[in-house]
Each structure stands twice: as C-alpha cells, then as structure tokens.
Chain A
C-alpha cells in the first residue's frame, strides 16, 4: 500500500457503507494479499495469518475490485456474509467457516508437472 494514495483527499461523497457485505471464503483463500493491496479505499487488512478481513467497514463502497482481483474466488461482495466461526472447516465448499490457522494450500491438489 502506498502512502500516497492513503493521503488522497476524498472528493467523492461516500456511498452507503457496505458493512457486512464482503464475504471471505477462507478455505479457498491463499492469502496472496491482492485484495488488501489494491483496495482503493484501504478498507481491508490481513490478520496475523495473512487472511483478509474488513478492517474499516465504513470505508468500503462495495466496489467489488477485491472480488475481481482475488485469483481464488474467495471474496464475494454484496452478499450477506456467512457466519464465520472458529470451527473445523468443511474443505472445498464455498463459504465454509474456517479457523484462522487453517492452511488452504494443503487442500489444493498437487500440481502436476507436464
């Protein structure tokens, strides 16, 4: 994140705050950081495990860029967020609740060399 864009004055009035409208599917998230890095309003942040969360819901305009830039279909904007609980994940299911210390890479099929 660049400091420059942070300092940008807000010219446009904020849209309706989109609190609760960004869902994360941790089972699919590979914690690449695209969403956090390219959120135009720096509404997202990574937790200590690298998983993104909506840190500043009031800044979110539900523009959907994080969803589009997520390579793993692990973010959904504009839907009611499923309850994220600290329970055991059901791997591979979109929206499945997952514990923060779960490693999604382990679920990925091993890439085959060609």
Chain B
C-alpha cells in the first residue's frame, strides 16, 4: 500500500474499514461477486490488491468466489471473500468444505433483511444462526460481529488471526448499517497491528501428515506446491488426509475439530461492556443494534434508569461465560435484534431461567431506535 497516513483520523465507511483491516492483517487474495450491501469491499480490494501485486478476481458467482479463496489459501495465501445473505447461502457448501478440510479463510457477510432477496439496502440480523448452522453436518464456527467502523477494522484483523491460528474459516458478520455508515476513525499505523500467520510444518515433507496435530489440536498447514505433496478432501480423512470410515479414525478427527475451538473459548469470547458495574437492567446486543442500545443506556441513565449493555463481538462460539456473568444479579435482561430472536434464544439457554430475559425483535427493514428500547423497558420493568 502507498504510504497513506494510516495513523491520521479518517472518515471511513464500515466496508472500507473491513477491507483496510483485512489488508493490515496480511490479506493477499480476494475473490468475490458483487452484491449489495457488500460490494464496496470487493471494489476496494480490486483497487488495492493489484497495486500490491496480489491477485484479485471477480468470479462468476459466490460459490466460485469461496472455492477460489479456498484454493488460494491452500496455496499459501490469506484469502477473503465478501458477500451478503443470498451469496452467503450459496457459499455454505464450500464453507463446510473449509471446516472439514481445515482451510483458513475469511468470509464477510454483510447482513441485509432476508430471506432470499429480502431488502437489499435495509439492515437485518437474520443470518446469525445461519452463520452457525448453515452448512450440513456438525462443526464448530467462529463468527465475529462489529458494531462500529473502528470495530470493523479491528474485527477484520481478528478474523484473519483466528482463521490462521485455528486453521478454520471465520465469518465476519456485519450489517447494512455498519457497512454503509461513515465514522471518524484513527487506524493503527502499519506494523502496529498484531498479525498471526498459520503454523507451517516443521518436519521435512516425507514425514509431514497434514492432519496430525500436536497438543494444540491444530495441525500445521503446508502450502500446496512447496514440496509437501499431501491430499485434501471433503471426505472424513485420517491424519494423512486420505478418506477413512474407520470409527477409530473418524471419532478422533471430529473430536479434534471441536477441541481446537472449545479449548480456546477464553480467547474467542469477545464482548464489550457499557455501564455494567451498577446496572440493574441489562441489554445484550450486537452489530448495529448495539448502537441503539448504547444510546438507550445513555438516555435511560439520564432519566434515572440503571441500564447496562453487554455488546457481543463474538457471536459464535457464543460467549457463555461473559453473558452468565453479566446476567448474574440483574432483574431484567432485554435482547434487541433485527430478527425474531436468534441470539435471545442463546441468552435464555445460558441464563437457564435465573433472570427475566426478553427479546425485542424488529423486522421492518429499519433499525431499532433507542426510544423504542426505553419504551419497551418501561413496559417490562
């Protein structure tokens, strides 16, 4: 990148910040297909990557885009694609492939109101459960969700770091409001961003087993075409990568797939708290809805309501411990979402009946307003 003064304040759009975050994290491959409201990411990458001598390609559809990213990632690149609901639905098959073949990649899904074409220019948060359970079969998932332009940058970096560290696809779940809004942000200067690269094999090729892991449960990934001639498949495979149906090989494989994530929950559970110390009423929110909730906390406190907000950055794995902690001792919890209760269901599961948890769902193509939340809380409390 040209020596743009990255440490100067800039007015950036959410999508722009995601692209810049990806580049800061070392993204050197992008394949995508245009779709509102994610196209800006593809456009920016088409401008930036050629100038750096890295590949950018607009593929024939979203299926091809993610396939292209997975191929590039196997060949050693840090690859990203960006899409919205309909394209994300098309990507599910290869997202599953990335999970089972353990290929790091970052998939940005800028949520719009759905299902299907829905409302392309209106925000929605209906893909939260899809990001977790969209593919067939069972596998863990890492899904992060920014609520501001600054967070878009940070979360994009984090997505790449998680993808590389855990050798897995990571979904960045943005939404139309966050994607399109512009905010003043000061980006860290070049070299001030923590960048994690995938662990590569330490043994000579003849001894390399692409799916044999050490205690970390995360196998080391060799770049295709660099002397390590291994096999990658979407079939359940043994340590050498060859298909297997032997129970004594299949079971440990699945166990490892889950363990590599579940053993790192503390690192993966990312939340932000606002005025939680003395709060009596808790709001749990994420994405653009967290912005409404922040305003509600401010306005509510001006009016004497002791409100607090737990903003979820990681949606999956669901940040169980922070949510449990935040729920403890609260008399009431409200979970506002632009869907019919996809995260409130998780909050209720974690809460296990101890605190009153209510969902606040809105599906009219617009954001939840702070006043709307306060009015709801007035009714509930």
Which residues of A does B touch, CB under 8 Å? Answer: 110, 112, 114
Contacts and interface: CB of A to CB of B under 8 A. Distances in A.
A110 B243 CA distance: 11
Contacts of A110: 245
B235 interface: yes
5 contacts: A110-B245, A112-B235, A112-B243, A112-B245, A114-B235
Contacts of A114: 235
The interface residues of chain B, by DSSP majority, are classed as loop
Contacts of A112: 235, 243, 245
Q: What band does the interface of chain B fall in when counting residues whose beta carbon is under 8 Å from A?
A: under 10
Interface in B181-197: none
A110 B245 CA distance: 9
Contacts of B235: 112, 114
Contacts of B245: 110, 112
Nearest to B236: A112
B64 to A, nearest CB: 20
Interface string B212-237: 00000000000000000000000100
A112 B235 CA distance: 9
A80 to B, nearest CB: 29
Nearest to B242: A109
B280 to A, nearest CB: 56
A110 B235 CA distance: 14
A112 B233 CA distance: 13
Nearest to A110: B245
Interface string B345-369: 0000000000000000000000000
A95 B243 CA distance: 25
Interface string B232-255: 000100000001010000000000
A114 B245 CA distance: 13
A107 to B, nearest CB: 16
